[in-house]
Amino acid sequence: MPELTYLQAISDGLRTEMRADERVFLMGEDIGVFGGAFKVTDGFVAEFGEQRVMDTPLAESAIVGTAVGAAVVGMRPVCEMQFADFISCGFDQLVNVAGKMHYRQGLAVPITVRLPSGGGFSGGPFHSQNPEAWFMHAPGLKVVAPSTPEDAKGLLIGAIRDPNPVVYLEHKNLYRRVRGEVPEGSYATGFDARVARAGDDLTVIAYGAMVHVALEATAPELLDGAAVEVIDLRSLVPLDEAAILASVKKTSKVVVLDEANATCAAGAQVAALIAERGFEDLDGPVVRIAAPDVPIPFSPPLEQAVLPGVERVKEACRDLLAY
Q: How many Cβ atoms from other residues are within 10 Å of residue 244's Cβ?
A: 22
Find the domain containing 299 and state its range. 194-321
On whether both 68 and 98 belong to a single domain, the answer is yes
On whether both 32 and 145 belong to a single domain, the answer is yes
Indicate whether 166 pLDDT > 90: yes
- Dist. CA 258–CA 261, nearest whole Å: 8
In this prediction, residues 19-39 reach a mean pLDDT of 97
On whether both 135 and 212 belong to a single domain, the answer is no
> Which of 90, 170, 173 has the alpha carbon at shortest distance from 134?
90
Answer yes or no: 127 catalytic.
yes
pLDDT for the residue 272: 98
At which of 148, 181, 214 does a domain end? 181
pLDDT for the residue 122: 87
On whether both 55 and 167 belong to a single domain, the answer is yes
- Total domain count, the chain: 2
On whether both 302 and 214 belong to a single domain, the answer is yes
pLDDT for the residue 258: 96
pLDDT for the residue 1: 85
Q: Is residue 229 part of a domain?
A: yes
What pTM, to 2 d.p., does this model score?
Answer: 0.96
Cα 167 to Cα 141, 181, 219, distances in angstroms: 7, 24, 31
- Dist. CA 283–CA 163, nearest whole Å: 41
On whether both 21 and 166 belong to a single domain, the answer is yes
pLDDT for the residue 14: 98
pLDDT for the residue 46: 96
On whether both 147 and 47 belong to a single domain, the answer is yes
On whether both 116 and 176 belong to a single domain, the answer is yes
Q: Is residue 16 part of a domain?
A: yes
On whether both 200 and 177 belong to a single domain, the answer is no
pLDDT for the residue 76: 98
User: How do residues 77-96 score in pLDDT, each as one tens digit?
Assistant: 999 999 999 999 999 999 99
pLDDT for the residue 211: 98
pLDDT for the residue 121: 86
At which of 133, 154, 181 does a domain end? 181
Q: Is residue 176 part of a domain?
A: yes
Mean pLDDT rounded to a whole number for the chain: 97
For the domain that residue 289 is a member of, what is the CATH number? 3.40.50.920
> Which of 38, 36, 26 has the alpha carbon at shortest distance from 176?
38
Q: Is residue 271 part of a domain?
A: yes
On whether both 171 and 95 belong to a single domain, the answer is yes
The answer to whether the beta carbons of residues 182 and 149 sit under 8 Å apart is yes
For the domain that residue 35 is a member of, what is the CATH number? 3.40.50.970
User: How do residues 232-251 score in pLDDT, each as one tens digit?
Assistant: 999 999 999 999 999 999 99
pLDDT for the residue 75: 98
On whether both 68 and 130 belong to a single domain, the answer is yes
At which of 181, 205, 240 does a domain end? 181
Q: Is residue 189 part of a domain?
A: no
Q: Is residue 186 part of a domain?
A: no
Q: Is residue 187 part of a domain?
A: no
In this prediction, residues 38-66 reach a mean pLDDT of 97
Q: Which of 102, 127, 171, 212 is catalytic?
A: 127
Q: Is residue 188 part of a domain?
A: no
User: How do residues 175-199 score in pLDDT, each as one tens digit?
Assistant: 999 999 999 999 999 999 999 999 9
- Give the start-end residues of each E strand in the chain: 3-5, 24-28, 53-55, 76-80, 112-117, 142-144, 166-171, 179-181, 194-197, 202-206, 228-232, 235-237, 254-261, 287-291
Cα 264 to Cα 22, 72, 111, 268, distances in angstroms: 39, 32, 26, 6
Q: Output phi, psi for 239, to 5 deg.
A: -95, 130
On whether both 168 and 199 belong to a single domain, the answer is no
User: How do residues 114-164 score in pLDDT, each as one tens digit?
Assistant: 999 999 888 989 999 999 999 999 999 999 999 999 999 999 999 999 999
